[in-house]
Structure 1
Amino acid sequence: MIAETVCSAVAVAGLGIAAVNAYRRRFLTAARIAAYSLVPLGLVMTGVIDWLADTAFSPTAWAGFGVLGLAWVLFATTRAVERRRGGTRKERRAAAAAQRDAVAPQATAPSLGPSTRGASKPRSAPRGDGEDFSDIEAILKKHGI
Structure 2
Amino acid sequence: MPAADAVLLPLAIGLTLVGLVAVVVSFRRARRGRALQGLALALLPAALYLTGLLRLVWDAVVAVVRWAGSNVFDLAAWVGFGVLGLCVVLWVVGGIVARRSPSAKEARAARAAKAAGRTPAPVEAGRGQAAPAGRAPAKRAGTKQAPLQDDDMAEIEALLKSRGIQ
* TM-score, normalised relative to structure 2: 0.29
Higher relative contact order (Cα pairs below 8 Å, separated by 6+ residues): 1
More helix per residue? 2
* TM-score, normalised relative to structure 1: 0.33
Structure with higher Rg: it is 2
